[in-house]
A and B are shown apart, each in its own frame.
Chain A
Amino acid sequence: MSNPRYWRENPSRYNLIGRRCENCKGVFFPPREICPKCRRKSLGKMKAYKLTGKGKVYSFTIVHDPMPDFTLMKPYIMAMIEMEEGVRLTGQIVDCEPEKISIGMHVEATLRKLGQEGGSGIIRYGYKFRPV
């Protein structure tokens, strides 16, 4: 895969920058240019909006059979996090024993290495979550 494919998403992935629809005040992550509720009325009104990074575990799983890029991490915790702003993000939970995790647990986003292109390729960074 080419680097721009990941570079272009870096601002959002590093800083949790999504969009807020100025029409309905709905918050979205990742960024999207059209609000699914307001559609045409939202054109030009989807403004950058930074998430606080705080949220709660909505659901989770322990991955034992990953994609090749993630083999060295297994088993790892994959979770869906409901952020304070109401949007949900999919990400790993780190700095936590798998048996300690539960639905409703408070977590915060943290910048981590997500993976890299092949054996010596460029490193991809982004958000993971850790307990607070």
Chain B
Amino acid sequence: MRDVAIIGVGDTKFGELWEHSIRDIGMQAGLSAVIDANIAGEQIEALYIGNMAAGSLIDQEHLGALVSDYSGLSALHIPAVRIEAAGASGGMALREGYIAVASGMHDIVMVAGAEKMTDVTDEEIPTVQMAGGDQQWEGISGATMASLFAMMARRHMHEYGTTREHIASVPVKNHKNGAMNPNAQYQKGITMDTVLKSPMVADPLGVFDCAPISDGAAAVILAPLDIAKKYSEQPIKIVASAAATDTLALQHRESLTRIDSIKVASRKAFKTAGITPKEIDVAEVHDSYSIAEIISIEDLGFFEKGKGGPATLEGMTEINGVVSVNTSGGLKARGDPMGATGVAQAVEIARQLRGKGEKRQVDNAEYGLSLNMGGTGGTSVVHIYRRL
């Protein structure tokens, strides 16, 4: 296997992009990554698209050909494929691109993630999100994705004494970070009071505990490390790529307070990278719901089980804390265009490791990690990155 590096990154603003179609945003993110990588379009050998639900959101499948076509690559006839793993589609697409380059099958590939969610009404979104869980045995009873995470939150409170304030400190921190990210959907800080008093979605989780409905796209260009310097002054090495699955339905898990796919994927990734969680400076994790960030920072090994809430409330995951978590604003403030999220996480980590994090830059960041999750943890994808 060859070493693989990110040589270019690009993204669109995340948010309600009424003026733009999925073609526009996919092209825009891809083009900015190509320009950042100093490559020509014809050097791209293959295209991997992370997308969760274009079929149900905009009645459009076949995104491989669509994105390739509208990125001006149709005459080159390159292979292009859409990868789906619910909310982990982007991270899984990144992994497929990584495998293609690491194996020697391709040299330069583009990985893009895109989702267009605002072309349907807000009322339709819970059904689409719930497709990442078990439609036949959870959804049919009226379970929404928020309700499943709410049940995880209640168990976490029951088993570890986690408080509503602990959980609410996640969106407060992520909005603070998002306020420093010019591409974030919400660039505005919020107070603890705002979270606690927000309308209930699924008790104990309120509106401010849930990632928003977003449009957006992100892209990275991958190349073998040995030629990466030819294109980029600051290539970022991907030192590990790991993915794991678990039961589709939450009800079949032994515990509701840990996510085994995160534990397995991250354990594999740390082993491959030859480092421990302590060495990670900056991490993007999957805060689709606030409780998910607390469980994630525990299962990734940053904090002991049950200590994720207090650690967040005490500021240990703020920028330049023990580990800087979701410097981009996370899914909550940067936005969560589902299939784009996993790729956007890689874009943020690459920016941080290049020292291009602007006002939200983590001091002297050397190692970064991204955790992209599908459903309630049916899939988790972990990548570890290193500054060269």
Contact = CB atoms under 8 A, between A and B. Distances in A.
Interface of A: 6, 9, 30, 58-70, 73, 75-76, 78-80, 87-92, 98, 103, 114-115, 124, 126, 128
A69 to B, nearest CB: 8
Contacts of B130: 67
A70 B139 CA distance: 10
A118 B123 CA distance: 15
Given A9-B136, A76-B142, A90-B251, A62 B151 contact: no
The 8 closest A-B pairs by CB, nearest first: A61-B150, A59-B151, A62-B203, A88-B251, A65-B201, A61-B202, A64-B200, A70-B142
A60 B136 contact: no
A60 B137 contact: no
A114 B148 CA distance: 18
30 contacts: A58-B155, A58-B256, A59-B152, A59-B155, A61-B203, A63-B142, A63-B202, A64-B199, A64-B201, A64-B203, A65-B126, A65-B144, A65-B146, A66-B126, A66-B144, A67-B127, A67-B130, A67-B144, A68-B127, A69-B142, A78-B150, A79-B151, A80-B251, A88-B251, A89-B251, A90-B141, A103-B158, A114-B142, A115-B142, A124-B140
A96 to B, nearest CB: 14
Given A59-B155, A61-B150, 17 more contacts: A59-B152, A59-B154, A61-B205, A62-B202, A63-B142, A63-B146, A63-B147, A64-B199, A67-B126, A68-B123, A68-B124, A78-B147, A87-B251, A90-B138, A92-B141, A115-B140, A115-B142
B141 A61 contact: no
B216 to A, nearest CB: 22
A90 B200 CA distance: 20
B143 interface: yes
B249 interface: yes
Interface of B: 123-124, 126-127, 130, 136-144, 146-148, 150-152, 154-155, 158, 199-205, 249-252, 256
B197 to A, nearest CB: 14
A126 B140 contact: yes
Contacts of A63: 142-144, 146-147, 202
Q: Which of B130, B141, B204, B205: most chain A CB closer than 10 A? A: B141
Given A61-B202, A65-B201, A78 B142 contact: yes
A24 to B, nearest CB: 15
B74 to A, nearest CB: 35
Contacts of B137: 30, 90
Given A64-B202, A68-B124, A80-B151, A59 B256 contact: yes
Contacts of B150: 61, 78
B84 to A, nearest CB: 20
A126 B141 contact: yes
Nearest to A78: B147
Nearest to B201: A65
A19 B290 CA distance: 36
B127 A65 contact: no
Contacts of B204: 61
Nearest to B199: A64
Contacts of A115: 140, 142
B251 A78 contact: no
B152 A114 contact: no
Given A78-B142, A103-B158, A126-B140, A88 B252 contact: yes
Contacts of A70: 142
A66 B142 CA distance: 7
